[in-house]
Amino acid sequence: MYKNIFVNQCGYLPGMRKHVTIRTDKPVSFTVLKSSGACVYTGRADRRVENASAGETDYVGDFSAVTESGFYYIVADGLGESDTFAVGEDTYADLFRKSMTFFYLQRCGYDIPESAAGCYGHKACHTQIGHAFQSSETRDVTGGWHDAGDYGRYVGPGAMAVAQLLYAAERNEVLCNSYQCPERDGFATGSPDASTAAVSDYLEELKYELDWMMKMQREDGALYHKATCHNFCSFIMPEDETEEMVLSPVSVTATGDFAAVCAMAVRFYRKYDENYARRLEEASRKAYEAMKGMELSGGFKNPKEITTGEYGDVCDTDERYWAAAELYNAFGDEQYRTDFETIAREKIYQGYGWSDMGSYGNLAYLNTERPTDDTLREAIRQAMLSLADKLINIAEADGYGTALTEKQYIWGSNLSVANNGLHLYDAWKLTGEQKYLDAAAAQLHYLLGRNCMGLCFVTGCGTNAIKHPHHRPSGFRGKAMPGMLSGGPCSWIADETIKSMFTKEAHPAPARCLVDMTGSYSTNEVTIYWNSALLQLLSSVTA
């Protein structure tokens, strides 16, 4: 039956604000029932929202009063029922484990045993030597995580993913320490087998990407933008992509992001491995120096021979901003401080995307224990709060509490949703005002099912999840790898598959422009940095 009642299908922590969205044009009463059928709560959905993004009228109700652990569903007269959802302290354990395991399963250049990965196990892939583009230089660039549904490895997005996962660890140590590499606990069972490892499996996984990024650093400190074949391959397993491995030219964005994330990583790894922390520091400082000497007007552009993901970014000032703040925080040199403050006095950057690094810079500056400028701190704080207030207003005009306007359903809109959640969380940290935390959590609820498509955007989680993501191993095996966040609705109608169904002129409302079909890479692909955003948000709002 067509669904009209929408909630987070994974569920809620007992103390969370809980809203239900009902697609209807008049106020209605609703009942929350235990999965056994017993009625536990009756409420009224009486807040009307004309929802432009979804092209519908919604009524919103509140059932925060339901706090007892259990499984529930919601019914309303004549409007059917919602998906089943949980309330409980461990509601998100499964989501966390699956979405974190994704990184392990994306490992490149590594024999992934079937015992740990089921049908996604495979032999070490992309072991070929890397060739610098139009140069005779070759180097070993094995390792790291495949970026997405394709098998490319891109430095900027990789750095962003690691930074977000480090924030997740910082904010919710208990959750992140609970992660066990599937080689330890088995893919299917997840049996708890307490680890005594010095470094947590979680940090060990992040190190897999950091190690690879270090291989992408040239002797002069600059970073190759990416390691990919010339073109995307077809839907084959990764070890069958055996074409030449090309290192695309160095870029400011890759170099700056790498400098920043290595500096950040120092404080996490120092406790376990002094040597590794020193290597990170050296690599970071060296990349920073290289970045300072680099100019690349217009940003990185694919040479015409290379057609894999471009990750072009015309503005590299925010990467410089993030790097300066992060190196100042980690190493304390006055130069880094001056560099950051000089840019920030011109403009305060914000953003958690793969091309917008401002907010990472702001957090590094606001959270450092080193001397900072009070006036600048206050200006950054104000900018962050004013962004959060804008987001709150947008979220209130959306029946699902989503902080996106109808124009913002772009490629990777689910990343924007998660990142908006992070901005709202930041505002909560700055003010302690509950409304910001509630709004942040609402972004998570959207991703997990409280949306107009009634879809849980994370594969293998919730009752009605994405089943056909644009992801080569999933496509090849005919079964979606669990724990992957889909890119989400994109109203551009940008790939062949969605174009075969809609046109730019005639398509459903923006928030419905997703087709759960393997071919639809503009709406239904997955990436490491969409999962990392999900994990940073999850760790933040559940800490």
Query: Which residues make Cβ contacts (< 8 Å) with residue 316, sequence separation at least 6?
Result: 251, 252, 253, 256, 296, 299
The stretch near ligand G3I (CB under 6 A) out of 148-156, 247-255, 327-335, 368-376 is: 148-156
Catalytic residue among 122, 126, 470, 471: 470
Q: Is residue 118 a contact point for ligand G3I (CB under 6 A)?
A: no
Instruction: Map tokens 């057609």 to a residue.
Output: 307
Instruction: Output the smallest distance, CB 109 to Zn ion, in A.
Output: 6
Nearest distance, CB of residue 498 and ligand 9MR, angstroms: 12
Q: Which of 525, 535, 540, 542 binds ligand 9MR (CB under 6 A)?
A: 525
Do 208 and 154 form a contact (C-beta atoms < 8 A)? no
Tokens 């011109």 correspond to 346
Partner in contact with 238, chosen from ligand G3I, ligand 9MR, Zn ion, none, beta carbon below 5 to 8 Å by kind: Zn ion
The yes-or-no answer on residue 525 being catalytic is yes
Minimal distance in Å, beta carbon 408 to ligand G3I?
A: 8
When CB distances are held under 5 to 8 angstroms depending on the partner's kind, the choice from ligand G3I, ligand 9MR, Zn ion, none that residue 22 binds is: none
Q: Which residue has the tokens 């422009």?
A: 513
Residue with tokens 């702001």: 362
What does the alpha-carbon distance between residue 526 and residue 99 come to, in Å, rounded to a whole number?
11
Exactly one of 58, 83, 147, 150 is catalytic; which is it? 150
What does DSSP assign to residue 112?
A: B
254 binds ligand G3I (CB under 6 A): no
- The least CB distance from residue 308 to ligand 9MR, in Å, is 7
What b-and-e string marks burial along 167-189, b requiring 16 or more CB atoms within 10 Å of the CB?
Answer: bbbbbbeebbebbbbbeebebee
Number of residue whose CB is nearest ligand 9MR: 150
| Interface with ligand G3I, residue 352, by CB under 6 A | no
The question of whether 470 is a catalytic residue gets the answer: yes
Provide, rounded to whole angstroms, the least separation between the CB of residue 123 and ligand G3I: 23
Q: Determine which residue in the list 310, 333, 373, 406 makes contact with ligand G3I, applying CB under 6 A.
A: 310
- Residue 245's H or E segment, with its range, is strand 245-247
In the three-class reduction of DSSP (H, G, I as helix; E, B as strand; rest coil), residue 76 is classed as strand
Q: Which of 422, 537, 541, 439 is closest to 485 using CA atoms?
A: 537
Which H or E element spans position 348? none
Q: How far is the CB of 167 from ligand G3I (least distance, A)?
A: 20
Strand order in the sheet with 5-6: 5-6, 19-23, 56-62, 47-51
Instruction: Round to whole Å and give the CA distance between 168 and 166.
Output: 5
The yes or no reply on residue 245 touching Zn ion (CB under 5 A) is no
Residues 172 and 240 sit within 8 Å (Cβ to Cβ): no
Q: Applying CB under 6 A, which of residues 172, 518, 520, 527 lies at the interface with ligand G3I?
A: 527
Site for ligand G3I in 315-334 (CB under 6 A): none
Q: Interface with ligand 9MR includes 241 (CB under 6 A)?
A: no
Tell which one of 79, 100, 141, 148 touches ligand 9MR (CB under 6 A): 148
Quick check: 521 binds ligand 9MR (CB under 6 A)? yes
Establish how many alpha carbons lie within 13 A of residue 434's alpha carbon, considering only the half-sphere containing its beta carbon.
3
Which residues participate in catalysis according to the annotation?
A: 150, 470, 516, 525
The residues of the shown chain that bind Zn ion, judged by CB under 5 A, are: 108, 125-126, 238
Q: What residues make contact with ligand 9MR under the rule CB under 6 A?
A: 148-150, 232, 309, 521, 525
